[in-house]
Amino acid sequence: MVVVVGSVNVDVVAQLDRLPTEGETRPAQAGWIAPGGKGGNQAVAAARQSAAVTLVSVVGQDALAATALATLREVGVRLAVPERPDVPTGMALVWLDAAGRNTIAVVPGANASVDASQLEALDPLQPRDVVLISLEIPLATAVAAAEWARAGGARVLVDPAPAPAALPAALWHVDVLMPNQGEAEHLLGHDVVEGHEEEAARELHRRGAQLAIVKLGGRGLVWSTRERTGRIDAWPIPVVDTTGAGDAFAGALAANLATGREFEDALWRATRVAALACTRAGAQTVPTWADVQRRLGQETRHDK
């Protein structure tokens, strides 16, 4: 089982030729509203890899809640997501350019009220379970979720996004810590030097993470454990929308670890899921592993 503790949002997306500069108004070629939020995106990604998934979050008692939860319900995620009448459902305002790059502003709304007491109503954890935590919720709740997971014998995966001013010790000393490059630089307090990214992963490991990952976007990722350090190259396929790519990776990684795969195999699979997700518009249009296999097969036949 995968338990995801994180945010649920509605994404309001504008697609432009380029991102606006300060004070500039630009016409958008398209726009849409879709479900999002790091917790929601990760739960959908894990479910699409055939994992049993529970999501812990909060939405408002408003018209946006149905949109925010639609895909989660469609893919069979168990929702520990109360509706609160006194707060609105979270929102994300997304600007997307022609190269698939984005700029995002998040309005927390109900996500600011996700509380550790919600964990008490869940089924007891098992040793093979995975608890995946991201930080668009109160930091104290994220810490409590990590401690709850450890007490239950589950593995703890932390996606430290958005990166806080200081990461609490309970979120450093986890089974997997997976910042992107910018988040790693924030956590470490210095730049990640191109060509020396493995050293950043080693430093994250030395600070507490059993498996430390630095996601490098189109350059793949680097990872480090006590025994060794490695790199996985990105899958070079056309990019449409990078929104939610990190969440697709995190959810797919959690699902593969929960089903017993070795971490290197799980990492490789998660990078392929995240890459294929970037060929689709929207944060919750995450492929299944069968989708990835079909695309890999097409490229192999083309190469021949």
Q: How many CB atoms lie within 10 A of CB 262?
A: 10
User: How far from chain centre, in Å, is Cα 1?
Assistant: 17
The verdict on residue 185 lying in a domain is: yes
Mean pLDDT of the region 69-90: 97
Which residues, other chains included, contact 274 with Cβ-Cβ below 8 Å and sequence gap of 6+? Answer: 245, 246, 248, 249, 252
State the CATH number of the domain containing residue 183: 3.40.1190.20
The verdict on residue 13 lying in a domain is: no
Residue 303 has pLDDT above 50, yes or no: no
The verdict on residue 44 lying in a domain is: yes
Residue 300 has pLDDT above 80, yes or no: no
> 12 burial class (0-12, 13-18, 19+ CB within 10 angstroms)?
middle
**Cα–Cα separations (whole angstroms), residue 176 to 29, 72, 75, 96, 194:** 39, 24, 25, 29, 23
**Are 229 and 201 spatial neighbours (Cβ–Cβ below 8 Å)?**
yes
The verdict on residue 291 lying in a domain is: yes
User: Model confidence over 126-154: pLDDT tens digits?
Assistant: 989 999 999 999 999 999 999 999 999 99
Q: Give the separation between CA 108 and CA 90, rounded to whole angstroms.
A: 5
Domain that holds residue 175: 2-8+38-88+114-303
**Cα–Cα separations (whole angstroms), residue 265 to 119, 215, 269:** 30, 16, 6
Residue 212 has pLDDT above 60, yes or no: yes
Q: Grade residue 99 by pLDDT with cuts at 50, 70 and 90.
A: confident
The verdict on residue 294 lying in a domain is: yes
- As a three-state string, the secondary structure of 49-93 is CCCCEEEECCEECCHHHHHHHHHHHHCCCEEECCEECCCCCEEEE
Q: Give the separation between CA 212 and CA 137, rounded to whole angstroms.
A: 22
Q: Give the separation between CA 157 and CA 15, rounded to whole angstroms.
A: 32
User: Model confidence over 224-261: pLDDT tens digits?
Assistant: 999 999 999 999 889 888 888 999 999 999 999 999 99
The verdict on residue 73 lying in a domain is: yes
Q: Which range is least confidently modeled, 56-65, 214-223, 237-246?
A: 237-246
Mean pLDDT of the region 272-280: 95
User: How far from chain centre, in Å, is Cα 30?
Assistant: 25
User: Model confidence over 66-78: pLDDT tens digits?
Assistant: 999 999 999 999 9
Question: Which pLDDT does position 304 carry in this prediction?
Answer: 33
pTM (predicted TM-score): 0.93
The verdict on residue 195 lying in a domain is: yes
Q: Grade residue 122 by pLDDT with cuts at 50, 70 and 90.
A: very high
Q: How many CB atoms lie within 10 A of CB 124?
A: 8
**Are 252 and 221 spatial neighbours (Cβ–Cβ below 8 Å)?**
no
Q: Grade residue 298 by pLDDT with cuts at 50, 70 and 90.
A: confident
Q: Grade residue 302 by pLDDT with cuts at 50, 70 and 90.
A: very low
Residue 301 has pLDDT above 60, yes or no: no
Active site residues: 247
Q: Tell me which residue has tokens 């954890």.
A: 125
Q: Which backbone phi and psi does 35 adopt, to 5 degrees?
A: -70, 150
The verdict on residue 129 lying in a domain is: yes
Looking at the structure of the chain, the number of domains it has is 1
